[in-house]
Chain A
């Protein structure tokens, strides 16, 4: 018998204490304003690049890169991920992982079967 009875009480006696604000983490004002400033700067930057810089096939990469930096800023500071429980962050990031799987497989398949589609229209 590996696990023998280690019995404890379910409703713990000590839940009564600490109705405090120890789970609230108000974000400092300068962090909020700084994040906002950075976001505006990046928005203007991405429009500027799209209009004035010829990047060819890298264009999508650059604009997505800037968008991702913006997303990280919003996530980390506006959404408090910077201060949040690791598990919650993990939960959110897992959605991105599964989205990546979805898009990865679908795109891989689409990439390889494109000739079948173009063949059809070439006929």
Chain B
């Protein structure tokens, strides 16, 4: 049995993918039909009056009262009652929204210009949000820089994330699928690029995490480590395929021979193995305001203390890899010794 109103709703409402959706949509539709009825009534009456009482030869208006306390009370009290009902329905839904379930899994969310980082209970960090169906989650959210906002339309859930305080929200995904996560508080140039995927898995993601499917830098290829760190920290502002983003692209960065800066100075490099180049990259990550690339504003935050020297080394390896503008996943290193060798090679000069 298909509810015709329900099937109509698919044209103006996203899928219902969380426990809030049905309740919120009920109120949405209720207000919609209340509005349609009252609006149509108003417009019909207005147009009808305008037609039959229009000024025309031979038309003589009949006298009519200029006030009526009864009518005024009617249209004061009538709408008031409806409004009170709407308020309570809204408040009810809000209460559900604000009362987290007891068995909620906690995921830490860090928003930064212009990307997201999700830290799961076992310490794994990803840039897309992985959830398991029917498992309530509580997001503990902080911002690295300016105000962001976490919004997944299908979940009917939204929460601003302000720097300097901790925000918390919860929901229970109820529908398997892939959704979009939007930033809905204007946060700067790359605001509209701060869109990531939310994947609701059929099998419990939690189980996968228990099996310790977390990224271990010491067991992965340094370039793969670098790619992962790029997605978490750099990808919001820097492309590696040469496309324009907030900051300069990484394409051709490793083969750079000369870099001009906003203050008129410049640096020359003799290849990406040279100390000058590696020092420059390392400094740009830790103290970005020291050298601003010509043509770009001084807007990059410092990652001092957020990335370890090893991690900066992985990023440097990644930069060399994507110099041509494309990234290919390195084959998994075969032996432990290769991994160790890779990790040593990756450590950046200080």
Contacts and interface: CB of A to CB of B under 8 A. Distances in A.
Direct contact of A and B (CB under 8 A): yes
Interface of A: 1-3, 113, 116-117, 119-120, 123
A119 B168 CA distance: 11
Interface residues of B, number: 9
B196 interface: no
A123 B66 contact: no
Contacts of B168: 116
Nearest to A114: B165
A1 B67 CA distance: 10
A1 B66 contact: yes
Chain A interface mostly: helix
Contacts of B201: none
Contact of A117 (B63, B66, B67, B165): B165
Tell me the interface secondary structure of chain B in the complex.
loop
A109 B35 CA distance: 32
A2 B66 contact: yes
Contacts of A1: 63, 66
Contacts of B142: 120, 123
Interface in B45-74: 63, 66-67
A78 to B, nearest CB: 43
B63 A119 contact: no
A119 B162 CA distance: 13
7 contacts: A1-B63, A1-B66, A3-B66, A113-B165, A120-B165, A120-B166, A123-B166
A117 B166 CA distance: 6
Contacts of B166: 116-117, 119-120, 123
B165 A119 contact: yes
A116 B168 CA distance: 9
Contacts of A2: 66-67
B46 to A, nearest CB: 24
Nearest to B168: A116
B286 interface: no
Contacts of B67: 2
Contacts of B167: 116
B14 interface: no
Interface string B85-114: 000000000000000000000000000000
Nearest to B167: A116
Given A116-B165, A116-B168, 7 more contacts: A116-B166, A116-B167, A117-B164, A117-B166, A119-B165, A120-B164, A120-B166
A116 B143 CA distance: 13
A116 B169 CA distance: 12
A116 B164 CA distance: 9
